Structure 1
């Protein structure tokens, strides 16, 4: 049973936390896209570990808001393999004002449910979450 937030009235489905935990601990997924449906935040899409950042960005709708988590693997200047978990609030300029408001008002509470986020990014168009920006924020 999802737990509702009195402030936003939004509930986070247990599946969201479960899938995030699997991404974080088992690395079962490269990314997870979350969608607000009615009064719930639900998992919309799971990206397999083989999928790329391009696959992830192509999965985001052009004119609707979403929350997303992306597990970014990279190699440091010291040649160490590292990983950072990004939380991305996707709020395209072309989405409806009401949708943007609902996503904005629920974001912090939803993000708190996902323990282990290392970097947060807010994007209103694809250029604001380009691979170069992700890479720069990870290091």
Structure 2
């Protein structure tokens, strides 16, 4: 049976696969991004989609639904002015305006519990439309 991390504030639990997928992304770099969703019936946060190492930011943006909330982490690689290769991990709280109010509230109250499990996130972005999480926003925050 998979271990779940219980969250005291909302009663949501985070499945072990969320933490293990994140560690694979962070340490072994086998994923470029991970999308998480809340399963309301089982009251758990689980992995929804995983992006391979060859996928990019546009693939992540395309995998987020236009009418439902999600969490995502993205491993952003960039080169500094000193020609040094760097990597930063972004946590994205996706809450589009077309999503249900109940969904927005569940995602807003469960975010901190998931963030505690995902140790090593550098930046957080909250977005309600694609312009708020555009690639230029990610680049600006990383540099």
The TM-score, its normalising length taken from structure 1, stands at 0.98
List gaps (5 residues or longer) in structure 1: none
Alignment length (residue pairs)? 139
Q: Which residue of 2 aligns with 1:12?
A: 14
Find the partner of 1:52 among 47, 50, 56. 56
Question: 1:63-78 alignment to 2 at 5 Å?
Answer: 63-78=67-82
Matched, 1:128 2:132: yes
Question: 1:67-106 alignment to 2 at 5 Å?
Answer: 67-106=71-110
Question: After the TM superposition, which segments of 4 or more aligned residues of structure 1 sit over 2 Å from their partners?
Answer: none
Q: Distance in 2 between matches of 1:100 and 1:116?
A: 25
Displacement of 1:6 in angstroms is 2.4
The TM-score, its normalising length taken from structure 2, stands at 0.95
